[in-house]
């Protein structure tokens, strides 16, 4: 094979591989939509004033979106003639915050029409809301495009609050995320609420979960007695502040969901040391959370000419 032919083939392969591994960038919209962050922030600051749970809602939507076919805003699509919406699948029945994403998209379209994807809005909104709740900023990577399809059946990849630690760990591994990512991203439960139906199996009066602090168990039983739809703080100490108290709660057997407490209470699990690290150092948690959010946000993004930039996040163009 001539050196010229070899070089040509190598260039073609490199170009093809590079296209399939397109990198996201924190500066992606610097020239095409320079006011993006301030525009998104303007909507979110006002919306959060009306709903202190907004940060938890949007992070959850971003997380659930990324675990199904990657971070492509497929979860935002409503039912249509050829769309079986992921919103209707069991793991997403309690997701919320979509109206705020609509408002952000409208504001962004007003200043940069046809430029910014809904998938990127989810990633950026998650970071902005974490900061508004007291957390630490990170460099959000941008450049995703939106899918033209949804995958309702694929929502089985989303971790369930009643699954055991090995199952959850495997679901994270399937997405290229390790146990540090699992523990760090679970820290998003330092804000938000969960309904009793998400953890009722732990409250059985005759056989309660032994990893639940007895006083906390009684509090939860009393709150859930009237309805399994009652809301409970995921972080019993500082429910609306993005901090590391979630991990301290786990050390005290006060994790709300089974999947929370198992990070600390599973004997021999390598997650225990990570929980202890984050409980002892908020800065370590903040650094790891930002790194894991970037890593999660890079799960199979559509880039280049793949997908589209939706005008309306709820439907394909």
Q: Which residues are catalytic?
A: 64
Q: How many CA atoms lie within 13 A of 231 on its CB side?
A: 8
* Residue whose C-alpha is closest to residue 116's, from 32, 20, 47, 31: 32
How far is the C-alpha of 58 from the C-alpha of 62, rounded, in Å? 6
Q: Which long-range contacts (CB under 8 A, 24 or more apart) does 264-271 make?
A: 265/211, 266/165, 269/165, 270/179, 271/165, 271/169, 271/179, 271/182, 271/183
Dihedral through CA 30, CA 33, CA 35, CA 41, nearest 10?
Answer: -100
Contact in structure between 115 and 29 (CB atoms under 8 Å): yes
């Amino acid at each position: 094979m001539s050196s010229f032919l070899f070089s040509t083939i190598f260039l073609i392969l490199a170009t093809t591989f590079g296209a399939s591994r397109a990198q996201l960038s924190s500066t992606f919209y610097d020239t095409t939509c320079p006011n993006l962050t301030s525009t998104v922030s303007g909507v979110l600051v006002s919306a959060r004033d009306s709903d202190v749970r907004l940060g938890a809602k949007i992070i959850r939507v971003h997380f659930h979106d990324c675990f199904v076919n990657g971070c492509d805003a497929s979860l935002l699509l409503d039912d249509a003639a050829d769309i079986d919406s992921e919103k209707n699948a069991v793991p997403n029945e309690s997701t919320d915050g979509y109206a705020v994403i609509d408002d952000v998209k409208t504001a962004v379209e007003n200043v940069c029409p046809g430029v910014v994807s809904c998938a990127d809005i989810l990633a950026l909104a998650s970071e902005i809301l974490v900061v508004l709740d007291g957390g630490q900023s990170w460099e959000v990577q941008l450049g995703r495009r939106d899918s033209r399809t949804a995958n309702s059946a694929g929502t089985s990849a989303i971790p369930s609050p009643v699954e055991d630690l090995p199952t959850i760990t495997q679901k994270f591994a399937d997405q290229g995320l390790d146990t540090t990512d699992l523990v760090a991203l679970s820290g998003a439960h330092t804000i938000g609420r969960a309904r009793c139906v998400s953890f009722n199996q732990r409250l059985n009066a005759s056989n309660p979960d032994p990893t639940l602090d007895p006083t906390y168990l009684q509090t939860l039983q009393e709150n859930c007695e009237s309805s399994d739809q009652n809301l409970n703080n995921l972080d019993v100490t500082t429910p609306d502040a993005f901090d590391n108290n979630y991990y301290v709660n786990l050390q005290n057997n006060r994790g709300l969901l089974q999947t929370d407490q198992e990070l600390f209470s599973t004997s021999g699990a390598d997650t225990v040391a990570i929980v202890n690290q984050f409980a002892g150092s908020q800065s370590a948690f903040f650094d790891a959370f930002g790194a894991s959010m970037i890593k999660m946000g890079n799960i199979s993004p559509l880039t280049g000419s793949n997908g589209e930039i939706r005008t309306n996040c709820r439907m394909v163009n």
